[in-house]
Structure 1
Amino acid sequence: MSFRINEIFILNYRIFLVYINYTVCRLLFIYFNNDLLQINDFWHLIKLLYYGIRFDSMSIVYFNSIFIFLSIIPLKINTSKIYQDLLIWIYFIFNGIGMLLNFIDFEYYRFNLNRLMSSFLEAIESEPNKTELIFHYISEYYHLLIIFFLFLFVWIFFYKVVKHIDQNTFTNKNYYISSLFIFLITTALCILGARGGDFKKSTRPITIIDAMDNVNNPQHADIILNTPFTILKTLFKKPFKLINNFNQEEILNELNSIKQYDRALNDNSPNFIIFILESMGREYWGSMNKKNNIEDFIGYTPFLDSLAEHSLVFSNAFATSRKSIHGMPSILAGIPSFEISYTSTPYSKQKIESIVSVANSMDYDTSFFHGASNGSMGFLGFSNTLGFDNYYGRNEFNNDKEYDGYWGIWDEPFLQYTKKTLDKKEQPFLATVFTITSHEPYVIPKKYDKKFNQGLIPMHKCVRYTDFSLRRFFEKSKKSNWFKNTIFIFTADHSNQSYYSYYQKTINRFANPIMIYMPNSEFKGEINSLASHMDIYPTIVDLIGYKEPFRSWGKSLIKSNNESAIVINYLGGGSYFIMNDSLISVHNGNKAIGFYNIDDKNFNNNLIHERNKSMNALERKGSMFLQDYFNRIISGKMNYIKNEKK
C-alpha cells in the first residue's frame, strides 16, 4: 500500500460524511421552518439540495483545512492510533462548530428571517445578563440540543466504521512520490471548493448573493445557503461600500429626499409619545386586518382596536427593520438596517438628523423609555447619539421586583412609571417608549396567566398583556394635564411568530402597524396606501410644525401631495426588496433580478421577462436608494446640506 490508497479512500469517506451532515442539516432546517420556506414539491427540494453543494463545499474546505492537511502530509505516524486520535478531535471540534451553527438557525431563523451572519450576537452583546439568556435558550430549545448530540453520536459511529491499516512505508520512494501528487491534487480540489466550483479568473469566489442564481423565491436562497457559509462570508467584511453609478443631482431629484413643510400650529405646541411596541406586527391587530379576508381571524389587541376607531390607521405599512436593534434608527431617524444594524456599524456615532434633533431645536424636552437594563441593545448609546435629553431604563425604574427575569421590567409597571415621569415634565415634550414584554421567551406576569387567553401561538398572550398594559397607561394618563394636547404614534419594530398563512408570505412578514391618535382631533380613518417606518420621521416633523429643510427618504403621511411611497428592506441571501404601490422588485445590490405584481407577496410569478417602463423605473429608484444610503453613511452626509449637488 505504498501509494497510500487506503489513506486517501478514508479521507474521502470522512469528507463525504461532512457533506451528508450538511445535507441532513439542510433538510432539518426546512423541516423546522417550512411554514416560512414553503417547499411542497419533491423535485424542487432535490434541486435546492443540489444547488447547495457549492456552498457546502466552501464551508467544508474552510472548516476542514487543518484536518485535510494533517491527513495528507507524509509522516511515518499518519496511520498510528495516536495520530488518528488527534485527527478525530480536530475533525469533530471544527465540524461540530459548523453543525452547531446550522442547528442554531433551525429556530433563530424564525425570528431573523435570514441565515445567521457574523453579527448575529449584536442583539445580546450589550446585555448584562448574557449568561442567563444563554441558559434560557438552552432550556427553551433543549430538544435541538438532544438532536444535536444524537446526530453527533451517529456521526462518530460512522466515522469509526472505516479504519486505517497501520503502515510503516515512510521510506518507500513510491510513498513520497504519490504523496506529492496527492498534495497537489488535494490542494487544487480545496481551492476549487473554496471558490465555489471553478478556476476562471473572470469568476470571483462565490458569495451570499450567488444563492439567488437558481431560485424564484428569494427565501429559498436561505435553503441553498448554510450558516457556516454566511458567517464566514460576513466575517471581517466591511458593512458598507461606496457606489458611484449615479450623480448626486440625479439621486436628489429622483428620491426627493430634501423636505420642507409649512404646517401652521397654534401657540400650544403638541406633545408627542412614540410607542415602539416590541414585535407587535400587523398580524396581531384586529383593526389592521378588517379588509384582508383572513379566514377565522382573531385579533389580540382589543384596546388598540378601540383606540383605532378614533385614530388615523395606516393598514398597509411595512417595517424597514428586522430586529429590535434595527428599530430605533429606522423609526426615529428613517435609517433602515439591512444585513447588519446601522447602530452596530462604526458609522453610527456620526451626527444625524432625526425627530429628536428637530424636537430639541424647538425646545422640546426629549426622553427615551426602555424597561431593559441600561445599555441593552445599544439603545442608551444611540439615544445619546440622537441627542435625547433623558434616558429612563431599568436602572431608573429601580425596582427589580418587577423584573421579568430575562429582558427587563414588565410592560404594565414600566408604562405606569413612564406616565408618572411624564407628569413631572414641562411641556412640550417628545417621548419614545419601547416596550419589551411581547417577545421571546413569551412570558407574562404569573398573576395574569389566567386572565389572558393563551391564543394560538405563544406570542398571542404577550400581545394581549402589552395591549392591556397600554389600556392601563391610557386610563391613568387621561387625567394628566398633558394628555389632550398629545399626539400618540403607534408602531412596532418588527413582527414575530406567525399563525396565519397570509402573514407567512415573504413580504407580509414585514407587515407593520402605524397609527396616529390625538384626543378630539381630525386624525381619524383608515388609509390603505403604502407606508413604512421611514415615513414616521417626516410625518412627525410635519406635525410638530418644523419649517426648516431637512433630509429624509420617507414622506409625511398626513400631507396631501403626489409624493410616491417606497418600502425597502433586506430579504436575505444578499438581496433586497423595493416596493411601490404597484410592483415589488427583488434587487441583488447591483440590479433587479425579479419583478412581481404588488399582490404577489409570496413571489410566485416573476415578471422580469416582461420588463416595462414601470419596472425599469423601480429598479433605477432602488439602485439610487442603495447608493445614496451607503454613500451618505460612509461619507458622513446624513444631514441636510444646503445647495447639495454632488
Structure 2
Amino acid sequence: AMRGGLQLIPIGNGNAVKLTESKYVPIVLNTPFSIMHSYSGKLEEVHFYTEQELGRYVNPIKHYTGKPFQQKNVVYIVLESFSKQFTGIGGRKSFTPFLDSLMGVGFACTNGYANALRSAEGIPAIISGMPALMDEPITTSSYGTNQLTSLPSLLRDKGYETAFFHGGTNGTMSFDIYAANAGFNRYYGRKEYNNDADYDGNWGIWDEPYLQYYARTLSTMKQPFMASVFTLSSHDPFKVPARYEGKLPTGELPIERVIAYTDLALRKFFQTAARQPWYRNTLFVITADHCSPTTRDEYYSSDKMGLYAIPIVFYAPGDTSLRAMNDQVVQQIDILPTVLDYLGYEEPFFAFGSSAFRNEQPGFVVNANLGSFQWYMKDYLMTATAEMQPTALYHFSVDSLCRNNLIVQERQKLDRELMPYFKAFIQLYRSSLIHNRLSVPAKATLN
C-alpha cells in the first residue's frame, strides 16, 4: 500500500503537487506516508560561515530594477542531449546549421554548461535554477514538495499563461509532477497530442510533428505566456522517421544523424512560429538538458567540464540589442535570473545563479558526479570529495584536458580564491533545501 498504486513508478510526496500548490502538500498527505518518504536521501547541513559572512560570497536574493517590465512571451526549447560538440561552437563538425544561425542573431553563450547529467535533473536546473547536487533528482527526493522559485510560477503571478510540453508518455521521469510544482498551469504530453501515428516506438512523439504541435498550441494561448518544450528524438536508440533515412548528414556517432533531424525540426518550428502573431513579442531560450554520453572526443568524453558543455542561446526576434557571442561562463541555473533580468522583472526573487547580463559575482559552474564535486571559477577547475575536501586543481583555461594537477603548487590560490565561494554555495544550497527556503516570501522587501 505504501507504494501508492499499480503505476510504473511508486508515488512520492511530489505527487501531491498535482492536486494542490506545494505549500498545501502537508494537508493532502497522511503523516505515516510523509515520514516514510522524508527520511530517504536527507542532506547534512554544514556551517562554514555565519549568515553575515555567507553574504560576502553568495547572495541568492536577486533584485533587478531600472527598467519597466516588458510582458514578452517566453518560449523555452530544451533539446535532448544537444552537446556543444555537435554545434558550430563545438570546434568539430557541426550537425546543427539552423541552431548555429540562431546563435548568429541571438545572445549565444559559447561557454555554457549544464548542471546535471540526467534529464530529470537538467529540467529543474533550467526552469527552477536548481543545480543537481544530490544523489537523486529533486523531483523524487524528500525535498520534492519544497516551494521552488520557478520561472512559470513567477510569471503566472504577472498574468502569464503557462504550459509544459513533452512528447513522452505522461508520467515519464515525473515531469508532470515537477511541472505542477514549478507553476505550469497545463501539461501537454503524448496523451494530449493524441495521435500515435507519430509515435517513434520508443520514447514518444517524433520531434518534427511535436514541435509543430507546440507552435500551434502556443497560438491558442493568451498572451503573455511562458511555455517550455523538451524534445526526445535525440535519445538512444537514435532512430529517425523512415522518410529521412539516407537524407540526413551522418558522422562517426549514430546520434549525430538524429541531432541533424532535430535541428531540421527546430528550423521548421521557427518557420511556423514566425508566421504567428505572438512571434515578435517573444524571447526564445534554446539549450540542452544535458550532454550526450556518446562521444569519441577526448575533451567531451572527460568526466570534467567537457561532459557538461552545452549551447545556451537567448533569441528575441527584432531585438538587435540581444545579439552577442558571449564568452563568459554561464550555467543552466543562470537561465532563470537572465530571463527575469531581460524582462525587467522588478520584484526580489530567489536564485542560486546570476544573470548573464551582469557581473554580480565571479562566474562559476558547480556540478556533482559519482560522489564528488566540481567547482569551476576564475579559469580554474577544482574537484572535491563528497565531504568537500579538495582533491585536484587544474588551470582549465590552458589545461582543458586536466592533465596537470596544481593542488600543491597553487594551494594558496585554492584556499583563498575558490574554496570560500564553493563552501558558501554548498552551505546555502543545503540549508535552503533543508529549511524550505527556496523562494522570497510574498511582499518581501530588501533592506
The alignment partner of 1:516 has SS state of strand
In the TM superposition, 1:494-643 aligns within 5 A as 494-496=290-292, 497-505=294-302, 506-521=304-319, 522-559=321-358, 561-572=359-370, 574-588=371-385, 589-599=387-397, 600-616=399-415, 617-640=417-440, 642=444
The question of whether the paired residues in 2 share the 8 Å contact of 1:587 and 1:619 is answered with no
Q: Give distance in 1, aligned partners of 2:10 and 2:227.
A: 23
Q: Is the 8 A contact 1:252 1:258 kept in 2?
A: no
Per the normalisation by structure 1, the TM-score is 0.60
Shift of 1:590: 2.7
- Alignment of 1:276 onto 2:72: no
Which residue pairs with 2:15 in the alignment?
A: none
Matched, 1:461 2:252: no
Deviations 1:595-641 (A, max 9, x none): 11123333311111123553113112111211211221111111125
Relative to structure 1, the CA distance from residue 448 to residue 501 in structure 2 (aligned partners, 3 Å threshold; closer, same or farther) is same
1:552 offset after TM fit, Å?
1.1
User: How big is the shift at 1:486?
Assistant: 0.7
* AA in 1 matched with 2:377: N
1:90-129, aligned counterparts within 5 Å?
Answer: 125=9
Mapped to 2, the partners of 1:462 and 1:263 lie a distance apart of: 44
Q: What SS does structure 2 have at the residue aligned with 1:504?
A: coil
Q: Percent identity?
A: 32
Matches of 1:364 and 1:518, distance apart in 2: 18
Q: Cα deviation per residue 1:530-559 (whole Å; 9 max; x = unaligned)?
A: 110010010011122211111212111123
Which residue matches 2:125? 330
Which residue does 1:352 correspond to in 2? 148
Q: 2: CA distance between counterparts of 1:620 and 1:594?
A: 16
**Pairing partner for 1:256 from 59, 78, 83:** 59
Q: Give, in angstroms, the shift of residue 258 of structure 1.
A: 1.5
Deviation string 1:410-448 (CA, Å, 9 cap, x unpaired) is: 001111111111111111111111111111111111111
Which structure is richer in relative contact order (CA contacts within 8 A, separation 6 or more)? Answer: 2
Q: Is the 8 A contact 1:126 1:378 kept in 2?
A: no
2:36 corresponding residue in structure 1: none
**Aligned ranges for residues 201-240 of structure 1 at < 5 Å?**
238-240=41-43
Q: Secondary structure at the match of 2:300?
A: helix
Counterpart AA for 1:618: L
Contact map agreement 1:275 1:491 (CA 8 A) in 2: yes
AA in 2 matched with 1:390: R
- What amino acid sits opposite 2:62 in the alignment? K
Matching of residue 442 in structure 1 with residue 238 in structure 2: yes
8 Å contact 1:358–1:546 — kept in the other structure? Answer: no
Aligned match of 1:168: none
- SS of 1:276's partner is strand
**Residue 556 of structure 1 aligns to which amino acid in structure 2?**
S
Instruction: Give the whole-Å Cα distance in 1 for the aligned partners of 2:357 and 2:431.
Output: 29
Question: Aligned letter for 2:57?
Answer: E
- Using the TM superposition, give the Cα deviation of residue 562 of structure 1 relative to its aligned residue in structure 2, in angstroms: 4.8
What corresponds to 1:390 in structure 2?
186
- Which 4+ stretches in 1 moved above 3 angstroms? 124-127, 611-614, 641-645
- Whichever residue aligns with residue 540 of structure 1, its letter is V
1:517 counterpart letter in structure 2: Y
**Alignment-mate amino acid for residue 608 of structure 1:** I
The answer on whether the counterparts of 1:372 and 1:393 sit within 8 Å (CA) in structure 2 is yes
- Greater displacement, 421-430 / 250-259: 250-259
Structure 2 partner of 1:340? 136
What 5-or-longer segments of structure 1 have no aligned partner? Answer: 1-123, 128-235
Of the three residues 244, 248, 260, the one matched with 2:47 is 244
TM-fit CA distance, 1:248: 2.3
- The Cα of 1:459 is off from its aligned counterpart by 0.6
CA distance in 1, matches of 2:10, 2:77: 22
TM-score by length of 2: 0.86
Displacement of 1:249: 2.4
Higher strand share: 2
In the TM superposition, what is the alpha-carbon distance from 1:125 to its structure 2 partner?
A: 4.3
Q: Counterpart of 1:156? A: none
| Equivalent residue for 1:313, pick from 102, 108, 115 | 108
Give the aligned length: 404
Does structure 1 conserve the Cα–Cα contact (< 8 Å) formed by 2:169 and 2:204?
yes
In 2, distance between residues paired with 1:643 and 1:591? 37
Match of 1:409 among 201, 205, 222: 205
Q: Does the CA-based 8 Å contact 2:125-2:333 persist in structure 1?
A: yes
> What's the secondary structure of 2:229's corresponding residue?
strand
The residue that corresponds to 1:147 in the other structure is: none
Separation in 1 of the partners of 2:299 and 2:383? 20
8 Å Cα contact 2:42-2:142 kept in structure 1: no
Q: Which residue of 2 aligns with 1:112?
A: none
- Which residue identity does 1:536 align to in structure 2? I
Distance apart, 1:337 and its partner CA:
1.1
CA distance in 1, matches of 2:182, 2:242: 37
How far apart in 2 are the matches of 1:238 and 1:284? Answer: 35
CA distance in structure 1 between the aligned counterparts of 2:203 and 2:211, rounded to whole angstroms: 15
Q: 1:263 to 1:371 in 2, by over 3 A?
A: farther
Partner SS state of residue 299, structure 2: helix
User: Which runs of no fewer than 5 residues in structure 2 stay unpaired?
Assistant: 1-7, 12-38
